[in-house]
Structure 1
Amino acid sequence: MTTATETATATETATATETATATETATATETARAEWDAWREEAEQQRREPYGFLAYSALHFLDGEPGRVEGFPGRWATGEQGPIVELDEGESLTVDGEAVTGRHVFGPVREREFRRAASFGDVVVELSRRGGHDLLRSLDPRHPLRETYVRTPAFDYDPAWVIPAEFAPYSAPRPIEVAAAVDGIVHTHEAIGEAVFALDGAELRLILLRAEHLAGAGLILFTDATSGVTTYRASRRLITPLPVPGSMQLVLDFNRAGNLQCAYTPYAPCPLAPPQNRLTIPIEAGEQIPTFRPEPAETGEHPAS
């Protein structure tokens, strides 16, 4: 028979345990929220950098015929030697700290390389290669988009959107083609497996791409029922650490679903979500539609002529 003292002691123990558990949960949530705040601040600082992606002011496809490109000195083309510029008398570029005149060969550009190749005045010339196309872009720290940028809104942090998942790796990484935010480009990425998780009673499987510039991480490009309503319509991205050896467990923190560059500028040929990653349920977490996105009258997304 249980005495009143034993019952009281058991009740006190259970209450103390519940209180300790609640305190630990609250502390963990506060820590996670602080880490999320830091993630948000880091993203905002990167966007405000003088030569961050908000400074992109033009994008042009290069082809084999040398041609003038509005806003750039010289005539530009590309070929087996990579991008080439032919500068007329009185024109120059700065390359590696030295003034360059006449004809200059920049050399082949690797797929998805970002090469800050030259400058003129305060403007930086970037060469890149996307979907087999050599691209010419300019970065101007005085671009109106950067100068008028305001903080990107986001859903408030919610621990309910930190979702456990299982990593289902493919037997071998496989190439996957995905569309781009700029017409005429198709990206090829390496798919390494799928993130399998349950939401609203349904099993969902999102394709994981290798995050090329982050060792041990996977990239998920996705849309959901909020896309085009409260979040950027074309795609958002989620970076997640891959499981440690011997484990297949993932954590999908949708609070860190971030905007792609193309949410802000027409000069970013971002990869978009593959069909399998286009969800029909709402993911009410992460970054929302940017508050201000001016649309220029002419994007310059055409071959040089």
Structure 2
Amino acid sequence: MKEAILLTYMGAPSTLSEIRPFLYRLFSDRDLINFGVPPFLQKPLAWLISLFRAPKVKPQYEAIGGGSPLVKYTYEQAELIERKTGIKTFVGMLYSSPLLEEVSEEIVNYSPDLLYVVTLYPQFSFGTAGACLRDVEKLLGGRVPYKAVKSWCRNPYYIRWIQESIERELAGLSPKDTAILFSAHSLPEYFIEEKKDLYVDEIKDTVKLVMEAFSEFPFRISYQSKVGPIKWLEPSTEEELHRLREEGFKNVVVFPVSFVSEHIETLYELDVEYAKVAKELSLNYKRVRLNHCSPLLTEAIISEIWKIRGKEEL
């Protein structure tokens, strides 16, 4: 049987020139961000927002090297998975190159008997993993037989990857004055209220399993990266840093819980903006690095493929 794997994600601008097109595609997606305007106004409003927001975020991308490394890192993950499984592995993004709509044609031409789809969002949300799976169905449904992983937030290899990553940063720190802060990408609140989105619950499930290894340490969950004129999940990561300092903590170890590789939200938002906030608060701020090429993370993704494949291994 001829098989293939698709890793899919929202994507990110790899160069400065990709910033505005990326933002336009992102804000045009009404399923992700509904501005409360009639559908025919969504794209014009997205065009305006991308026009004004692109110059504002450009310095952030310049500060991390002129673009996000997310796409590059996803290709590296795909290469590791293909090497380990022997199965052709594609990469397709919703809002940046390589666009899923173009990669889907490559997959059709490859003509696999079965395609395994994995989003790089361990926790399911209609706005992230759901959007990826929505577009997979739209572009490949009826054209290529496929099976998809909806969520892998409790995968034991994934949990161990997080635990080992955090463990290194906790070395020498006392539970008495150290807190672990799990910073997740925020979502519009209406996702939870109206769509009954599972995202918050799945974040909590992941954190609960991770904290089994660090039961003596206090922890918090916060949300980052809100954009646009709508209400997002709270508390924000900045608010939580202030709260931790007020409670007397001296050290904070921050893990970007909803991410599996470095990109603008970790390299700039966490490493620059929130690191500055922590410094002003006299907090010893340690941000956990995301090793996207970790054998544990690779095994987490592959083990999910084996589950939907119906076999534990080749």
Normalised by the length of structure 1, the TM-score is 0.26
* Structure with more of its chain in strand, by fraction: 1
**Structure with max Cα Rg:** 1
* Structure with more of its chain in helix, by fraction: 2
Greater relative CO, 1 or 2 (CA 8 Å, sep 6+)? 2
